[in-house]
Structure formats: C-alpha cells, structure tokens
Structure 1
Amino acid sequence: MSARTILVVEDEFLIRFMLADSLREIGYQVLEAANGDEGLAVLLSGQAVDLMVTDVRMPGSIDGIDLTRRSKSLAPARPVIVCSAHLFEPESYPADAFLPKPYTFAELANVIERLTGEPWQTNSQTRSA
C-alpha cells in the first residue's frame, strides 16, 4: 500500500521545505513545485497526485488560483487547498479549502486529513491528472 501523494506549490523555499518535510514525517509522499508553472507541469506529467496545497502569489505565468482551476479541470475530485495572506476565503474558489497565512502545520494537517483521510488510505478517484 502506498501513501497518498501531496503536491506542495510554494515559491518561498523555507516554507515549501518545512511543509514538505513535515508532511513526509506524518506519512505522506510529497512532490514540490516552486511556482504555478512547475505545479502545472507536475499535474500534466501523469504523476499521481491525491491533493494539492498551493500558495496564490508566485512568480511565473500561473498563480495559485489559476493552478487550482487547471487542477480541477484535469481531476475534479482532487482536493485543492489554497493558502494566502492576500485573499479572503470567497476569493479562493474553486478550492476545496482555504487557509489564511500564517497558519500552523497542525491546521494544515487537519484540513488534509478531513479532505483525504489518513496518509496511507488509497483513493483511485484522484490518483492521476
């Protein structure tokens, strides 16, 4: 049985590193992208992604909201969590959840578990883009 895979899209290296490392520690597989363009490339690669966590304001041609829309068009059942210090929750549509920055890792982990279940459960609906 393999762990659920989370794509973390965050341009701030230290935030991305801490999130990815913490998610791995609790049992998730983690893919990382430094901006929306890299995140979209992962989604289009065919790599299994069960959930995406994305920042909104990032360098490149795709922001986190556009990336969320593209993720939903590729795999409507794949949950997306949008994190931002610059938006309010209603502006995060079509995300499944919104976390205002700053947030704690415990808050993020609780939202991920609510949306996907335990790290080791499988869900064939969201396995590929």
Structure 2
Amino acid sequence: MAAQTILVVEDEFLIRFMLADSLREVGYRILEAANGVEALDILRSGQTVDLMVTDVRMPGEVDGLELMRRSKSLAPSRPVIICSAHLFEQDVHPADAFLAKPYSIAALADIIARLIGDPWTNDSQTRSA
C-alpha cells in the first residue's frame, strides 16, 4: 500500500522545501511544483494526486486560483487547499480549505487529515488527472 500523494505548489523554494519536508515526515508522498504550469504538467501526467496545496501568487500565466479551477475540472473530487497572505476564505471558492499565511505545519496537517485522512488510509480517495 502506498502513501497518499500531495502536490505542493509554491514558488518560494524555501517555503516549498519546508512544506514538502514536513509533510514527508508525517508520512505523505510529496510531489513539488514551483509554479502553476509545472503543477498542471504533473496533474495531467497521470500520476496519482490525492490532494493539492497551492499558493496563489506565483510567476507565470497560471496563478493558484486558476490552477485550482483547472485541477477541479480534471478531477472534481480532488481536494485543494489554497494558501495566501493576500486573500480571504470567501475569495477562494471552490477550494476545499483556505489557510491564511503565515500558518503552522500543524494547522496544514490537520486540514489535510480532515480532507483525505492520514497518509496510510486504506480507503484513499485516489484522484488521477
């Protein structure tokens, strides 16, 4: 049985590294993307992605909100967590959860567990593009 997979999308390398490393320590399998275009490539690749965590403001033509919309069109049941210091929860519909920056890893891990369960949940809500 494989661990559930989370796609972490964050343009700031140190933040992305810290998030990915912390979630790996919890037990999740992590895929990383530095921008929306990289994330879309992963989502369209056929790799299993059980949940996506994304920043909003990123360089390039696809910001976090557009990435969320495209992810939902590829796999409507795949949960998306939006993280931003510039928006409010009411601005991120149809995201499944919102975290205002700065936030703690514990807060993120709690939301992830609520949305998809622990890393080794047998009834994984596996979502592929």
Please confirm whether the aligned pair reaches a TM-score higher than 0.5, indicating the same fold: yes
2:59 is matched with 59
Q: State whether residues 6 and 51 of structure 2, in contact with CA within 8 Å, keep that contact through their aligned partners in structure 1.
A: yes
User: How many residues matched?
Assistant: 129
Give the Cα–Cα distance (whole angstroms) in 2 for the partners of residues 71 and 9 of structure 1. 12
Measure how far apart 1:121 and its partner are.
Answer: 1.3
Q: Which amino acid aligns with 2:109?
A: A
Q: Does the CA contact (< 8 Å) of 2:72 and 2:78 recur in 1?
A: yes
2:23 corresponds to 1:23: yes
CA RMSD in angstroms, aligned pairs only: 1.0
Conservation of the 8 A alpha-carbon contact between 1:2 and 1:122: no
Paired residue secondary structure (2:98): strand
- Distance in 1, Cα, partners of 2:111 & 2:26: 14
Paired with 2:24 and 2:124, the residues of 1 have a C-alpha distance of: 21
2:74: which partner in 1?
Answer: 74
Report the TM-score when normalising by structure 2: 0.97
> What is the distance in 2 between the residues matched to 1:109 and 1:100?
14
Gaps (5+ residues) in structure 1? Answer: none
Q: Percent identity?
A: 74
- Does the 8 A contact of 2:8 with 2:52 survive in 1? yes
Q: 1:59 to 1:48 in 2, by over 3 A?
A: same
Runs of 5+ unmatched residues, structure 2: none
Name the residue aligned to 1:49: 49
Instruction: Give the distance between the partners of 1:36 and 1:123, measured in 2 at CA.
Output: 29
Asked if residue 6 in structure 1 is aligned to residue 3 in structure 2, the reply is no
Classify 1:117/1:48 alpha carbon distance in 2 versus 1 (closer, same or farther; 3 Å).
Answer: same
Could you state the TM-score of these two structures normalised by the residue count of structure 1?
0.97
Ranges of 4+ aligned residues in structure 1 off by more than 2 Å: 122-127
